[in-house]
Amino acid sequence: MTSTLQPAVTARGPLDDARTQLREATTILGYDEGLYSMLATPRREVTVSIPLRRDNGDTELLIGHRVQHNFSRGPAKGGLRYSPDVNLDEVRALAMWMTWKCALLDVPYGGAKGGVRIDPRNYSSAELERVTRRYTSEISPLIGPERDIPAPDIGTDENTMAWLMDTYSVQQGHTVLGVATGKPVSLGGSLGRATATSRGVVHVALAALRSRGIDPVGATAAVQGFGKVGSYAARFLAEAGVRVVAVSDQYGAIGSHAGLDIPSVEEHVDTHGSVVGFPAGEEVDDLLTLDVDLLVPAAIEGVVHAGNAEQVRAQVIVEGANGPTTPEADTILQSRGRLVVPDILANAGGVIVSYFEWVQANQAYWWSADEVEARLADRMTTAWDRVTEHAARLDLPLRTAATCLAVERVAQAHLLRGLYP
């Protein structure tokens, strides 16, 4: 079975892609080389060693990173990723995209990202807790509610954030709920945070389909990646009337022309650990090239690339993951008339509700689930309208329009603040 979660084999990486997008935006905006260099380079980054005592008594050394790309508009904000593929350039790229995402959605943060090179599937919960607490201890001088606020990402969850918050709080001598978001609700988390990224993806996906004259009710969709973002996105698309005909994870892909029963797929994954083998679905060789109205890449970077973009048949591609489409693929898809909704717009729901969680924690006053959802929907639709109007006015692809709007907002903040002597 062919996995659909492998990025293209290429010398380029996500940092090259992020800087290519930034270069195009600064050129359009007329910014000089000095401003480009400032925005292309993280303000601060740290690499730490994490000695881990395994449950069997052995000691293992892991490597972790935290990159703060920019904080001209406010404290840095970004997820913490546990993955065997973590490297510093990937974290730098993800931090940069977080800067643009926060600016585009008018959230008063800069961008950050963290990662530990580890495959969490091979470690016990107790071992992952020790990794998290040691990592937090090492980066604690850089984080805090007014400095840098981590959140869950690939391989981490609300338990990770609880451990991080507790470790930081113990060092400070008092409970600091605002140091992390994506926490359990009983520890200052926000209602709606766990599904926020997926809900945001679906809000803009439905708007994107309508913009192409496609009625979402009865439209077909394929969702690549069935983790925290992809599984909920598939569920919410199905609830909106979209026929989800295929889903995939790192082990393979399944499909059904009649549409998959997503709650049943979720139950199968809970039991078997993968979508593979779902009895009411058939094996799919290449989910990315299926003939569907909507494709949602919701896994890792670089899965739509120059080698397969010509075969992508979806009319609308909505990026649930960060950086799933390379610049070369963007050019190919644009030439073929495909609509690509960029990650910094499409998957911004998570950072929006993280911002809501941070606000609630700082005020010690929590909102209802309906309030969170209404405010999230308003932010997403407002950003969609703004980006599409800007793209139409300047005849730009959505990614270029979104990046220009975000970069301009960050650059203005930087220029207004000036350079520290």
pLDDT of residue 89 exceeding 90, the answer is yes
* pLDDT tens column, 105-127: 999 999 999 999 999 999 999 99
228 has catalytic annotation: no
Averaged over 156-164, what is the pLDDT? 96
**Among 170, 191, 110, residue whose Cα is nearest residue 361:** 191
* pLDDT tens column, 40-77: 999 999 999 999 999 999 999 999 999 999 999 999 99
Give the per-residue pLDDT at 322.
Answer: 87
Per-residue confidence band for 11, with pLDDT thresholds at 50, 70 and 90: low
Given the residues 77, 101, 113, 183, the one annotated as active site: 113
* Integer Cα distance of 187 and 192 in angstroms: 14
* Integer Cα distance of 343 and 296 in angstroms: 11
pLDDT of residue 3 exceeding 70, the answer is no
Domains parsed from the chain with CATH numbers: 42-175 (3.40.50.10860), 196-346 (3.40.50.720)
Per-residue confidence band for 364, with pLDDT thresholds at 50, 70 and 90: confident
Per-residue confidence band for 193, with pLDDT thresholds at 50, 70 and 90: confident
Average pLDDT, the chain: 93
Q: What is the DSSP string of 253-297?
A: EEE-TT---HHHHHHHHHHHSSSTT-TT-EEES-GGG---SEEEE
- The Cα-based distances of 344 to 28, 101, 103 in angstroms read 18, 4, 9
Helix 88-104 to helix 349-363 angle (10° resolution) is 70
Residue 290 burial by CB count (10 A; 0-12/13-18/19+): exposed, middle or buried?
A: buried
Averaged over 199-222, what is the pLDDT? 96
Averaged over 312-325, what is the pLDDT? 94
Which are the contacts of 403, defined by CB distance < 8 A and separation ≥ 6? 21, 22, 24, 25, 100, 342, 344
Per-residue confidence band for 9, with pLDDT thresholds at 50, 70 and 90: very low
| Amino acid identity, position 132 | T
Q: Specify the DSSP class assigned to residue 383.
A: H
